Amino acid sequence: MQRRQRGSHLGLLLLGSQLMQVGLDNIPPVTLAVLGLNVYLYLFPAAPLMQACVSVQQAYWYKDWRRLLLSPLHHADDWHLYFNMASFLWKGIRLERRLGGAWFAYLLSVFSLLTGLVYLLVEATLTELTQDQSYSMACAVGFSGVLFALKVLNNHYHPGGVTYVMGLPVSNRYASWAELVLIHITSPGTSFVGHLSGILVGLLYTAGPLKTIMKKCAGFAASNGYSSRPSAYYTSAGYSGAHGGYSGYDRHAPGHTTNPSAPHMGGLTEEEQLEAAIRNSLNDRGQNNRRDAPPAPPPYGFNLSDEARAEEIRQRRLRRFDS
């Protein structure tokens, strides 16, 4: 196992800054552990990138099935890692607090494995339909497929809201599909099939038999940490599970305000409740002068090969630190 050598590690620094702004004690344990594992495997990869990515050729033809385990946890570079983990941070806070740590860990394990299997199935189907072997040789790596599955799940639990995709309001019901198309259009180097596979896995859970199968296999009961009802967490530990719909595109609607000093949060939306709770937690620790956390990062489908866009993102983040 060899430590990965990089340049400035700016993506890692930005991720660390975002974690500090939220507060490590405000991040549920499973979410924090998965974040730590992804960072560790970026710095100390279990295998070289070309031996960790998953494809029909490598996994099915050559029977290298361990790639299904390695591919979601390895990233091409620190920007790829940053965008994925910044998105996962908010989704993890929301979903882990709703489902419980044990079920959320189980969910992540199943989603990670199943997203890879669905990816192989879709790529093999495309190969058969088009007689184009390039589909079978396309090798994918990264956590974004799992993030799309979590996005579907998050929107299922919080229907009726609006997500801002590239500044356009989109119903949460269709947000995943809108992001899938827009990411593919704006960043053609990303894995369309990988993201689509995540959406399909999410739908298998929310509208298909996957949740029932998982419950039967695990033998989970409500007393063991799983509940189909939202957890009563808005008054605990200074954080809630809201705000988890962020995939990098979400923004508040115009005129959005919060009142973190209010004695209760009954009149706020769930996203507003998270922001208010985190700010109150920071204030309780004597950090009243800290600025609000910056807006969510650009999409995890960002085309990292586009040097012009990478430089633009880098300069924008540096300006935020300077301010």
- Distance, in Å, from the CA atom of 95 to the CA atom of 28, rounded to the nearest integer, reads 10
With tokens 């058969």, the residue in question is 128
Tokens in use for 20?
A: 């500090």
Pick from 65, 216, 53: which is nearest to 137 by CA?
Answer: 53
What is the three-class DSSP state of 83? helix
Which residue type sits at 44? F
A 10 A CB-CB count for 76 gives: 14
- Distance, in Å, from the CA atom of 317 to the CA atom of 323, rounded to the nearest integer, reads 10
Tell me which residues are annotated as active site. 144, 195
What is the three-class DSSP state of 299? coil
Phi/psi of residue 164, nearest 5 degrees: -95, 110
DSSP state of 158: S
